[in-house]
Amino acid sequence: MSTKIALAGNPNCGKTTMFNDLTGSNQYVGNWPGVTVEKKEGRLKGEPDVVIQDLPGIYSLSPYTLEEVIARGYLVNQRPDAILNIVDATNIERNLYLTTQLAELGIPMIVALNMIDVTRKNGDKIDLRKLGEALGCEVVETSALRGEGSREVARKAAMLAGKKAGEPPHVFAGSVEHALAHIEDLITHRDGQEAVHHHHADGSRHEGGIVPDHLARWYAIKLFERDEKVREELNLPDGIKDAIESTIKDCEAEMDDDAESIITNQRYAYINRLVSTCVKKGRPKGALT
Ligand code: BGO
């Protein structure tokens, strides 16, 4: 059985450069099922048992673009052994938005902090250890353009196969975490409700609950956001739907904001705090030498 690594990142993070560097000519190009979005996979050079699955470049795992739906569908239903998340170090705030969402999928992850040649040149200082501790995964510096760190990060990603995913970052405030915990209970049958079996694309059934435990946080957040695609997919019984809706409404009243904005704003606030503790900018972006 081969090890499957998913390459995920924002558009322009250097994903294509990294993919080409890792796979060379061992590439297979097709389309994602039913759509004309390009699907590329390839074998890691020198390690034919490791398959690298390229995902569309995306900013978020929301249900609003075809690329995002393809990427999250793959991550949730096909479950790669590990995620290699490429983060453009020169655009770290924006790129970490997706990273916080990927970390909620319960899949082992490693971050390639790419374009590190550029941030070095700018004199930026990035505390990799602190960043990794907060994100619950290792962070490795790479320059895909120069082939620096790429093989190392891919080999480390492959070694994550079969391991437990890291602790997801503590992004949300207490009242939101409280609501999420309640939703998790409702959808994993931890509160003694009658079991409902959710059938997954791979035909597996999850005994005694609606979603598997490793995906509980992901689904709880998406349900809290009232993600229409996830609501359709799970097709929950009315009693659970109503209990979730009243949990969301309580939290919205307390926070005086709508659920989707609460999640988005708290992600940005978390990332701002994280970047301000982990990154010391050298020269301002765009400044001349
Ligand atoms: C152009 N360091 C540096 N300095 N550049 C990098 C690195 C890195 O580590 N990694 C990638 N790039 P894609 P997506 C370009 O194409 O892989 C560069 O969307 C140019 N092109 O070379 O395409 C990479 O697949 C003219 O740059 O990203 C590419 O994720 C002038 O980042 C760009 C300058 O990489 C995006 C750059 C005609």
Judge if 48 and 121 occupy the same domain. Answer: yes
pLDDT of residue 283: 74
pLDDT of residue 288: 62
Integer Cα distance of 85 and 153 in angstroms: 10
Chosen domain end from 140, 168, 196: 168
Judge if 161 and 182 occupy the same domain. Answer: no
Chosen domain end from 149, 168, 187: 168
Largest distance between two CA atoms of the chain? 66
Q: Which residues contact 283 (CB under 8 A, 6 or more apart)?
A: 122, 123
Integer Cα distance of 157 and 10 in angstroms: 18
pLDDT of residue 207: 45
Judge if 238 and 151 occupy the same domain. Answer: no
Please report the atom of ligand 1 found closest to the CA of residue 86: 30
Q: What sign does the CA torsion over 282, 285, 288, 289 have?
A: positive
Could you tell me if the CB of 77 is within 6 A of ligand 1? no
Judge if 156 and 218 occupy the same domain. Answer: no
Could you tell me if the CB of 57 is within 6 A of ligand 1? yes
Digitized pLDDT (tens) for each residue of the chain, 289 residues in all: 899 999 999 999 999 999 999 999 889 999 999 999 999 999 999 999 999 999 999 999 999 999 999 999 999 999 999 999 999 999 999 999 999 999 999 999 999 999 999 999 999 999 999 999 999 999 999 999 999 999 999 999 999 999 999 999 999 999 999 999 999 999 997 554 444 444 454 444 444 458 999 999 999 999 999 999 999 999 999 999 999 999 999 999 999 999 999 999 999 999 999 999 999 999 766 666 5
pLDDT of residue 285: 60
The three-state secondary structure class of 110 is strand
Could you tell me if the CB of 22 is within 6 A of ligand 1? no
Could you tell me if the CB of 181 is within 6 A of ligand 1? no
Integer Cα distance of 200 and 206 in angstroms: 9
Judge if 178 and 47 occupy the same domain. Answer: no
Integer Cα distance of 87 and 223 in angstroms: 27
pLDDT of residue 286: 61
How many angstroms separate the alpha carbon of residue 103 from the centre of ligand 1?
A: 25
Query: How many folded domains does the chain comprise?
Result: 2
pLDDT of residue 205: 44
Pairing of strands 38-44, 27-31: antiparallel
Could you tell me if the CB of 220 is within 6 A of ligand 1? no
How many angstroms separate the alpha carbon of residue 218 from the centre of ligand 1?
A: 31
Nearest Cα residue to atom 13 of ligand 1 = 14
pLDDT of residue 72: 97
Could you tell me if the CB of 118 is within 6 A of ligand 1? yes
Nearest Cα residue to atom 18 of ligand 1 = 14
CA 85 to chain centre: 8
Which of 17, 87, 121 has the most ligand 1 atoms within 8 A of CB, as the residue to mutate?
17
Chosen domain end from 108, 133, 168: 168
What is the signed CA dihedral for 185, 188, 191, 197, rounded to 10 degrees? Answer: 150
pTM, rounded to two decimals: 0.93
Integer Cα distance of 127 and 112 in angstroms: 14
Could you tell me if the CB of 13 is within 6 A of ligand 1? yes
Integer Cα distance of 276 and 182 in angstroms: 31
Judge if 128 and 22 occupy the same domain. Answer: yes
Domain span holding position 96: 3-168
Judge if 93 and 230 occupy the same domain. Answer: no
Judge if 43 and 111 occupy the same domain. Answer: yes
How many angstroms separate the alpha carbon of residue 89 from the centre of ligand 1?
A: 13
Per-residue CA distances from 237 to 194, 215, 232 (Å)? 10, 19, 11
Could you tell me if the CB of 12 is within 6 A of ligand 1? yes
